Structure 1
Amino acid sequence: MADKSSLFSSLGKDIPASIVVALVALPLCLGIALASGAPLFSGLIAGIVGGIVVGVLSKSQLSVSGPAAGLTVIVLDALAVLPTWEIFLLAVLLSGLLQVGLYFTRSGTLSEFVPSSVITGMLAAIGLILILKQIPYAMGYDGDFEGSLSFLQPDGLNTISALFYSVWDFFLLGPIIIAVVSLIFLFWWDANRPKDGLLKLLPGPLVVVLFGVLANEAFKLFAPGLVIDPSQLVQVPVSESLGEFVGQFRTPDFSAITMPDVWIVAVTLAIVASLESLLCVKAVDEIDPRRRTTDKNHELLAQGGGNFVSGLIGGLPLTSVIVRSSANVAAGGETKTSAILHGFWLLLSVLLIPVVLNLIPLAALAAILIQVGYKLNTPELYKRRWAQGWHQFVPFMATIAAILFTDLLRGIIIGLVIGFVFVVARNFRTAVSVANDGDFWMVRARRNLYFIHKYELQNSLNKVPEGASVVIDLERAEFVDPDNIDIINSFARNAKFRDVSVTIRGDVDHLEDTPLEAPAKKVAYT
């Protein structure tokens, strides 16, 4: 549970940030539900639960959870296999319990082995996709659903072709005016925000949303040709009464718990949602101005609790989501209070003012997301990775390209494969040095010896001639892989048949499973 003092320590920054995140999350929740073939309200439920439940349980200060674009295909396929929506909700609930099980096995620690080049590549790719995906909305075209990160779109276009289509064939002046003015204001506000007084708490995105609503209403009165089409406005389901609102919540059908398909969907959701959440939380730690580190294993417990509750009351599966989390960081959020409050704002707004929400132009929200995308994709990021060398820059760029031209999950997997190839190659550089002065030879481990160093170690020892004296120096190695210990043991056993004197230096007592046959500390085989 959260420390109350920390929850309320930065309200001046967390409240404005939570409003921004709620405004960004609203159309994303609806768009992802639509793309998943699920009831629109289920996306809002997942957003509310992701804010309140996961926000309370999580130890991440800036991550924001909700329905994720990366799960849309899984949900769509699951709804085609499972007979009813209520049975699918059971699968969501069970996926949450499985994630809690992963917490107890400490599976979350695996995310710590993801190369930083892949994480920063993911962030840059998300920023680039946000810009490319939101420009069509700024132009008045919406062939893709809000929140999509996939290269291929439902209308047959892709991210690049949709961009050109929106610019050349779908040029609508009303949305463009709102988006351009909004963008200019957002960048100006960031540079000129008052440092004192109440205005310093005013979130620029809120001003943009209000401007978008008022501008469209003004178009209706004075310039009907510029009026934004209803399909380009937020579309929250409107309930006529409290009973109708409550009636949109659903409960799982527990009678289907023995269905194999339910468990297949649950396991799939648990694995994919856990992977996305862990990578997102790790990425958010990278852009946290205070560089706080989240307990990744505990995050599985928080996400599992969120999916359990979401499935229990009729919501989509959820994950930690990089778009909302990035918006939270960009808006100045400092603690998890921002994520929790954004869930409350979503709940109150869809309950009390859905008609007002439906006046918000998507072009205004597009401007907000384009600015977030730029902050994730600054030229300085590319310069910094370039300066770090090819072993960082190539996986970084490969991850960006893979995510941009596939989707988030496939792109991350491709980036991980390439990143690990470079990690292995980097660690495969010379780890063993060989020197000799006449019949005296020195074979020295320059650092830890892993499995990949077996050939190098064996080749180095093979250079020692008959009748020589050799020192095998392991003092710089804190870890020696058991396979390498076996190689040293074999060399030492064979040495007496070759009239070779062997001295082994270094403390390797920690390798008790496969200890050196010679005593471990500064020992001579003679």
Structure 2
Amino acid sequence: MTTQLQSPRPTRRGPGSPRWPKETFGADLGASLVVFLVAVPLCVGVAVASGVPAELGIVTGIVGGLVVGLLPGSTMQVSGPAAGLTVLVASAVAEHGLGMLGVIVLGAGIVQIVLGLSRLGTWFRAISPSVVQGMLAGIGLVLILGQVYPVGGLEQPATTAAKFTGIPDLVVAATTTAEGLAGLGLAVAALVIMALWKKIPGKLRLLPGELVAVVVTSAAAALLALPVQKVQIGSLLAALNPPPAAAWAGLLTPAVLGSIITFALLASAESLFSAAAVDRMHDGPKTRYNTELVAQGAGNAVCGLFGALPMTAVIVRSSANIQAGARTRLSRVLHGCWLLLFVVLLPGVLAFIPTAVLAALLIQAGWKLLELRQVVALVREHRSEAFVLVLTAGTILATDLLIGTLTGLAVAIVKTAVEVSRLSVDAEHADEHVRVTLGGNATFLRLPRLLDHLEKLPAGKHVHLDLTMVRHLDRACHQAVEHWAAQRRRGNSTVEVALPGKVG
């Protein structure tokens, strides 16, 4: 049984009513503070995991609040840097350099705007759920595998193979060195706090467990003077990374164009899948998919100009926004204001956070992406769908996000085509004739089975081949039937073929 989180329906505004009604301001203000507290560690953690300066994650969070927050599309969704794109960002930075990141993100934003204006946003809802689950599970696996290294005080290797082969060294470092033991203790403590905080009764639970874990473990690291690496935070303005002139020269190269399309499609899919989930949590106005896609594209275009991380709508922040009682989009706009004020006025506070704690937050995010309960249920109920999910996730882990996702899509399409092309063949034998009745869809995928049945029919008998119950007969099967009938007639047998009304 599932429960639906409901927020009061926003007051409808008349022509002369204020943009932010007074009766909802208090609720939106409180919700914005909760979302801000959730966003701070996640913005920093996603940036660090992506291999870029931590300030760029904050910039993306600010743009998500102040730009996307003001635009129409969705009311309750909150946008910012997403854990699901860390693998893609890290790969793009490693391949093209940090200077090219802004060009890629800006290009992805423009593609999203074009898709939204072309009213293609709703098509993202047609992607196979097993592929999406596999994509998220694959990202979760890569995220967990990469973030266990900062817990042990080591830099994560560049390739998946190296991450697996480096596990023995990681275990040694985490259990024998002072930095490794301290990082492991802090990470475990953070994970335990986040798990137990969900069971805290009353209004205290409105305080995000992620924030509590970060504050408690960071305070412990400072009080005990633990030998762990800390987040490096500098000036926000100095961290801005607008694309240099030389970066634009690589815009039309196949590798960069491929990254732009991949960023755009995955960011769009994640945002719109998040919208579908968020819309089930409240009873206010629902998301307008094409408009939301334009808003996300505008946000990514601005992030690209600043050279910051790409953004998506983030389910963790969005659900926190609804649970905290948000009524209008003002809450997400204010959360962007608090991020900006915090990083300008109190940047030194972030420097107290150990990287091992941020790694723990991302390990928890990766674990949520796995959704093991849904995987187990899928294995029990739909094994073919589970195969697509596992194949997609495994291919992402073994290769990269793009290859894994495309592989999953291709297999899902083939699986659907095979399932749709079901063909029944029934034969009734009499002394002088045989009646063969076909039903279902006769496509080239079922051609071997069809010909196998026809070629086994005894010679010398009259054959009545009834295809009138076939819903679809493609050209390949049509030609094969005609060719078989012609051969049969040349052998002094009689064949009567009844075709369906429409042949494809």
Question: TM-score per shorter chain, which class?
Answer: 0.7 to 0.9
Determine which of 221, 231, 234 is the counterpart of 1:234.
Answer: 231
Partners in 2 of 1:502 and 1:386 — Cα distance?
43
Query: Identical aligned pairs, as a percentage?
Result: 26
Q: CA deviation at 1:431?
A: 1.6
Is residue 136–residue 166 contact of structure 1 (8 Å, CA) maintained in 2? no
Query: Unaligned 5+ residue runs, structure 1?
Result: 240-244, 515-526
Paired residues for 1:360-399 under 5 Å? 360-377=353-370, 379-399=372-392
| Cα offsets for 1:442-482 (capped at 9, x unmatched) | 42223x4444234444555666776333321336x3x5545
Amino acid in the other structure paired with 1:48:
I
- Structure 2 residue 110 is matched with structure 1 residue 121: no
Secondary structure of the corresponding residue to residue 409 of structure 1:
helix
Q: What residue is the counterpart of 2:5 in the other structure? A: none
Over aligned residue pairs, what C-alpha RMSD do you find? 4.5
Q: How many residues align?
A: 465
Partners in 1 of 2:166 and 2:316 — Cα distance?
21
Paired residues for 1:90-101 under 5 Å? 92-101=105-114
Secondary structure of the corresponding residue to residue 352 of structure 2:
coil
Determine which of 20, 32, 39 is the counterpart of 1:21.
Answer: 39
Partners in 1 of 2:38 and 2:497 — Cα distance?
69
- Structure 2 residue 462 is matched with structure 1 residue 472: no
- Structure 2 residue 63 is matched with structure 1 residue 49: yes
Q: What residue is the counterpart of 1:267 in the other structure? A: 257
Is residue 140–residue 369 contact of structure 2 (8 Å, CA) maintained in 1? yes
Determine which of 62, 81, 84 is the counterpart of 1:66.
Answer: 81
Q: What residue is the counterpart of 1:403 in the other structure? A: 396
Q: What residue is the counterpart of 2:427 in the other structure? A: 435
Partners in 2 of 1:25 and 1:98 — Cα distance?
24
Q: What residue is the counterpart of 1:188 in the other structure? A: 196
Cα 1:215/1:256, change in 2 over 3 Å: closer
Secondary structure of the corresponding residue to residue 396 of structure 1:
helix
Partners in 2 of 1:181 and 1:4 — Cα distance?
39
- Structure 2 residue 213 is matched with structure 1 residue 208: yes
Partners in 1 of 2:206 and 2:287 — Cα distance?
27
Q: CA deviation at 1:20?
A: 1.4
Paired residues for 1:243-322 under 5 Å? 245=237, 249=240, 259=249, 261-264=250-253, 267-281=257-271, 284=274, 290=280, 301-312=294-305, 314-316=306-308, 318-320=310-312
Cα 1:285/1:308, change in 2 over 3 Å: closer
Cα 1:416/1:236, change in 2 over 3 Å: same
Q: What residue is the counterpart of 1:151 in the other structure? A: 160
Is residue 304–residue 310 contact of structure 2 (8 Å, CA) maintained in 1? no
Amino acid in the other structure paired with 2:264:
S
Amino acid in the other structure paired with 1:276:
L
Partners in 2 of 1:112 and 1:454 — Cα distance?
32
Cα 1:411/1:286, change in 2 over 3 Å: farther
Determine which of 352, 355, 374 is the counterpart of 1:359.
Answer: 352
Is residue 104–residue 304 contact of structure 2 (8 Å, CA) maintained in 1? yes
Deviates more, 1:70-79 or 1:9-18: 9-18
Secondary structure of the corresponding residue to residue 184 of structure 1:
helix
Q: CA deviation at 1:143?
A: 0.8
TM-score by length of 1: 0.70
Query: Unaligned 5+ residue runs, structure 2?
Result: 1-8, 13-19
Partners in 2 of 1:217 and 1:282 — Cα distance?
41
Secondary structure of the corresponding residue to residue 199 of structure 2:
helix
Cα 1:123/1:456, change in 2 over 3 Å: same
Secondary structure of the corresponding residue to residue 307 of structure 1:
helix
Secondary structure of the corresponding residue to residue 236 of structure 1:
coil
